[in-house]
Chain A
Amino acid sequence: MSALELILRAASSLAMLLVLPLLVGQTEHKVMAHMQGRLGPMYAGAYHGWAQLVADGVKFVQKEDLVPAAADKRVFRLAPMLAMVPYLLALAAIPLHPGYAAVEAPASLVFVMAATSIGVLGTLMAGWASANKYALIGALRSAAQLLAYELPMILAVASVALAAGTLSLGGIVEAWSPWWLLWQLPGAFVFLTAAVAELQRPPFDMPIADSEIVFGPYTEYTGLRFALFLLSEYAGIVLFSLLFAVLFLGGWRGPLDDWLGWAWTFGKGFLIALILIWLRVSWPRLREDQLQRLAWLWLIPIALLQLAITAVGVVL
């Protein structure tokens, strides 16, 4: 691999991180607004407010970067980067087109799961270092939630890896067949639920419940660092949507996938992102004990059952 190709790959995955979350964010603004009988942003950029998030970004850059006096300053400053970088790493490993991924690794599925599991640390560090009771409560809730939903997610992903017989995301797409839509359905349900919980979005937004604990771990953040947390949330939506498309919907597979593979991947991913937005608009927030009950009493047994069904299918 030449240096030029390396730079090109790195730049393209960075561009993906910077552009796709904005696209999802703008879609969320508009879709949510229309579902609620509003118009959403209409002024920035003239045409239906397309530049609203760019304007938001400019606003965030101009704001003062505050660090609370009692905070642990170094950890406080480091936390947003730690929340952000894992998603950048994970996005780079998603295959978009036959033979095309920014990073090609034989065990890219494990790589993506390992990278996303680091993201929790950023939230925990933010909550602890803020020296704020709401932030600490939020961080505790988020740690409990992420630990509880990590297990069903890994089990659901393991079922797909078992079905495909490989740990490489590209290999999984190669092995995918439409029959998987039924065969892996319980796993897909578990994965989607766990993904929403990992992203801490409604109905699983107990950690940042704005009506109880201000904004959870991110309460004390302002300006660019706050924007980094928001960006990492939307990058997470992009990542999990694309991952769902790759694992359960066959990624680039579809008519004319030699030319249009990338369009299939993005199209399926965008559909999942729309579902995530839809969930946010239509469900009330789950209470902490309901969250934990759902994870331990429903999702984990379903995921284990899926693993057993997959194993039977593979052996037969």
Chain B
Amino acid sequence: MTSLDITFLATGAVTIAAALLAVTTRQLVHSALWLVLSLGGLAGCYLVLGAELVALVQVLVYVGAVVVLVIFALMLTRAPIGPSAEHSTSRLHRALAAVLGAGVSALLLAVLLPLAGREAVARTPVDSSALAGDLFGTWVWPFEAISLLLLSALIGAFSVSRLAGGQTGGPS
């Protein structure tokens, strides 16, 4: 085992453990905080594999913006300290969610494990300009489609909040 292997395993283990804790903890805000660790761990995995820019953007977008937004929304609504019983689901739901999660993981593993091979983790540095070339050349259509999807979601959210505001009582 090379040191790169060990680093990759360690960051991977942190990512998986934090992800499991994020979905199993009974405390809402803790769940969001474990998500931070999990996404940060994923950035660490990218970094070990040499994709520096992807790792940094992962931290900038997911940790710095998305999770902060999630925590902000939690604090705006209700986020008591300590376990919150009213957000807990029934045993049956939990068992079903576990089966579904395990099923999806098994499916993904069945596809990905044969591709992984047995050789050591290799560090292949990715050049920023090569990445930009791929993103805005080869993959430009999916990229634009995602931006359209996000835009329509944004407009949808606006219209929903406007309509709801109109029913409850005039414009603020």
Instruction: Enumerate A228-262 residues with CB–CB distance to B below 8 Å.
Output: none
B53 within 8 A of A: yes
B42 within 8 A of A: no
User: Interface of chain A, helix or strand or loop or mixed?
Assistant: helix
A18 within 8 A of B: no
* Nearest CB of B to A130, in Å: 9
* Nearest CB of A to B93, in Å: 26
Chain B residues closer than 8 Å to A71, beta-carbon distance: 81
B75 within 8 A of A: yes
Q: Which of A44-52, A114-122, A178-186, A202-210 faces chain B?
A: A114-122
Q: CB < 8 Å: which of B52, B63, B68, B75 contacts A147?
A: B68
- Is there an interface contact between A120 and B75, defined as CB atoms closer than 8 Å? no
A175 within 8 A of B: no
* Nearest CB of A to B135, in Å: 14
Instruction: Enumerate A117-167 residues with CB–CB distance to B below 8 Å.
Output: 117-118, 120-121, 124-125, 127-129, 131, 136, 139-140, 143-144, 146-147, 150, 167
B109 within 8 A of A: no
Chain B residues closer than 8 Å to A125, beta-carbon distance: 33
Tell me the bound Cα distance from A117 to B62 in angstroms. 10
* Nearest CB of B to A219, in Å: 15
- Is there an interface contact between A124 and B81, defined as CB atoms closer than 8 Å? no
Q: CB < 8 Å: which of A70, A75, A118, A124 contacts B75?
A: A124
Q: CB < 8 Å: which of A106, A129, A136, A150 contacts B65?
A: A150
- Is there an interface contact between B52 and A105, defined as CB atoms closer than 8 Å? yes
Q: CB < 8 Å: which of B33, B53, B71, B79 contacts A143?
A: B71
With A124-B71, A143-B72 as contacts: A118 and B64 at CB distance below 8 Å: yes
Chain A residues closer than 8 Å to B16, beta-carbon distance: none
Chain B residues closer than 8 Å to A70, beta-carbon distance: 81
A107 within 8 A of B: yes
Chain B residues closer than 8 Å to A16, beta-carbon distance: none
- Is there an interface contact between B53 and A120, defined as CB atoms closer than 8 Å? no
* Nearest CB of A to B70, in Å: 10
- Is there an interface contact between A118 and B81, defined as CB atoms closer than 8 Å? no
Chain A residues closer than 8 Å to B63, beta-carbon distance: 114, 117-118, 121
- Is there an interface contact between A114 and B64, defined as CB atoms closer than 8 Å? yes
Q: A166 — nearest CB in chain B belongs to which residue?
A: B128
B56 within 8 A of A: yes
- Is there an interface contact between A117 and B75, defined as CB atoms closer than 8 Å? no
A111 within 8 A of B: yes
B150 within 8 A of A: no
Give the 10 A-B residue pairs with the shortest CB-CB distance, closest first: A117-B64, A114-B59, A114-B60, A110-B56, A143-B72, A114-B56, A72-B81, A107-B53, A124-B71, A120-B68
